[in-house]
Structure 1
Amino acid sequence: MKLGCHVSVAKGFSKACQQASTLGAASFQVFTKNPRGLRPKKVDYADAEKGVAFCRENGITLVAHTPYITNLSTPKADLHEVTVRSIKEDLHIAESYGAVGAVVHCGKHVGEGEEEGTRRMVETLNEILADYEGDTLLLLENTAGQGTELGLAIEDLVKIREATDVPDKIGFCFDTCHGFASGAWNLETFDEMVKTMEETGYLKSLVAIHFNDSKVPFQSRKDRHEKIGKGEIGAEALTRFLHCEQFEGLPIILETPVEKEEEYAEEIQYLHQLKQEATTH
């Protein structure tokens, strides 16, 4: 397992790669651009190449994350157009960074109903990926189920991927906090969830795990991340991921709340400790 965390690219991509290494991360995540905006970003290709080389030399895996404010299911023509353009650009940036995947949040049906929202989402994914020939996969992230969010259930995500014209360009990112909040898993149902992942084919397309505890209870349908072991999920349940052989080799990325990134070094060490305890018991 490649334990890591989210890192800022404010000082440039190659600096972010070095910061990840300093924190003891074997994997890390960066935003392709401002997470709250869709303004196009200029890529410093020389800096990107430097970062890619550093990660290759140090065996560090990168996952990219697209901005939050896109909506793959929007019925608004202008937002649809900007969403498609933005995510195409995000894939290009992620590819230049050498990312294994670019995480995108599933659509919101905004009152049009799940069926219509899902149809729009499939169409949008087709439009984004039709001409894309890169190696970086677009990763659909499971949602907590806030408002009209789609993509709560593992089975639904598999159906969305399979309904597209380009399933081979799409993978999955599983968020432990979102899954807990949506009711997809807890300590008691962990084994059942893994079995569902295997039986539906989700597991073979799973590329990354967002590793977060939850500030809010099981099935609350709210997305509120917490530090590992400090929330409603708890260390015991989350440790199940760390010694589950089906997840071996995947980037396990912390998106827990921190005042400064240096705190992640301690939390990554804590994950190693939990993993070690799991294997020695």
Structure 2
Amino acid sequence: MGTFYIGCHLSSAKGYEAMGKAALDLDASTFAFFTRNPRGGKAKDIDPDDAARLRALMKEHAFGPIVAHAPYTMNACAAKENLRTFAETMMADDLVRMEQTPGELYNFHPGSHVGQGAERGIELIAAQLNHVLKPEQTTTVLLETMAGKGTEVGRSFEELRAIIDRVELDDHLGVCLDTCHVWDAGYDIVGDLDGVLAEFDRIIGLGRLRAIHLNDSLNPRGAHKDRHAKIGAGEIGLEALVRVLNHPKLRGLPFILETPNDAAGYAAEIKLLRSRFAG
């Protein structure tokens, strides 16, 4: 059997080790978590001993990379300077905190340009990354592919490439591909997954693809709406998502479920997807 890392978003309220144990209860081999309240605010202090217990648990159970997620309110390309400063402060603090679990992944939504234009948004996002990325950090920061609702930046592979090209320490950057988002953005992962991945490779490079958000979508392709559905209950469908998790070019990546579920629902999806992994 090949390596298959599958997990979901877990609450960080009870600490790091508790998240690891919750993942094991779901038969997960990775997980995602918000670094602080998804709507922003001050982060809870980290207990170094708690973080050490998680690291030991992950090693014991051969976990894949875990994927921290920045708050939704962090808008690196906001029109108002105070909001950009808030975003930069949060990301800088998060990256310091991430060193409690060295070598993991930190995912964020690039932001919304709120009428300034995509080019200006790209410049501002890259500027924030140039301010917060440090040569010595072990964390890889992931730009997430976006559905393109409103004025979101990152609705195309070209926009993500344009951000990467403006970042000095680009070796600390990767991409998280969200199946719902790319479908809603217009990429045909149902009928032409090979073509989509070839386009990603040509524009960004598959070497930068470090994580997959595996979600179905309530919307038809190209809707630009971003409404996640449970696995097999949306417009993408189970068979297309199974082709994603079994694609040879995606082997070894962590697959994170962000479907509208409770713990029992996530456990059922993880069981289903494990049963369809070709190994």
Q: How high is the TM-score relative to the length of structure 2?
A: 0.94
Give structure 2 stretches of 5+ with no counterpart.
Answer: none
Identity of aligned residues (%): 39
Q: CA deviation at 1:267?
A: 0.6
Q: CA deviation at 1:145?
A: 0.6
- Would you say 1:227 and 2:210 are equivalent positions? no
Paired with 1:140 and 1:253, the residues of 2 have a C-alpha distance of: 15
Tell me, yes or no, if the aligned pair for 1:100 and 1:207 is still in contact at 8 Å. no
More divergent stretch after superposition (5-14 vs 175-184): 5-14
Report the counterpart of residue 75 of structure 2 in structure 1: 71
Report the counterpart of residue 195 of structure 1 in structure 2: 198
Deviations 1:219-268 (A, max 9, x none): 1101111111011110121111122111000001111111x223211110
Tell me, yes or no, if the aligned pair for 2:157 and 2:204 is still in contact at 8 Å. no
Paired with 1:221 and 1:233, the residues of 2 have a C-alpha distance of: 14
Q: How high is the TM-score relative to the length of structure 1?
A: 0.94
Report the counterpart of residue 218 of structure 1 in structure 2: 221
Residues 149 and 201 of structure 1, relative CA distance in 2, 3 Å threshold: closer
Give structure 1 stretches of 5+ with no counterpart.
Answer: none
Give every structure 1 segment of 4 or more consecutive aligned residues whose post-TM-superposition deviation is greater than 6 Å.
Answer: none
- Would you say 1:241 and 2:244 are equivalent positions? yes
Deviations 1:140-161 (A, max 9, x none): 0011111100111123212211
Q: CA RMSD in A?
A: 1.4
5 Å-filtered alignment, 1:35-114, equals 35-61=38-64, 62-98=66-102, 100-114=104-118
Paired with 1:204 and 1:245, the residues of 2 have a C-alpha distance of: 13
- Would you say 1:128 and 2:140 are equivalent positions? no
User: 2:119 aligns to what SS in structure 1?
Assistant: helix
User: 1:208 aligns to what SS in structure 2?
Assistant: strand
Aligned length: 275
Paired with 2:58 and 2:189, the residues of 1 have a C-alpha distance of: 34
Report the counterpart of residue 271 of structure 1 in structure 2: 273
User: 2:175 aligns to what SS in structure 1?
Assistant: strand
Q: CA deviation at 1:116?
A: 1.1
Q: CA deviation at 1:26?
A: 1.2
Paired with 1:123 and 1:42, the residues of 2 have a C-alpha distance of: 28
**Amino acid across the alignment from 2:269:** E
**Amino acid across the alignment from 1:94:** M
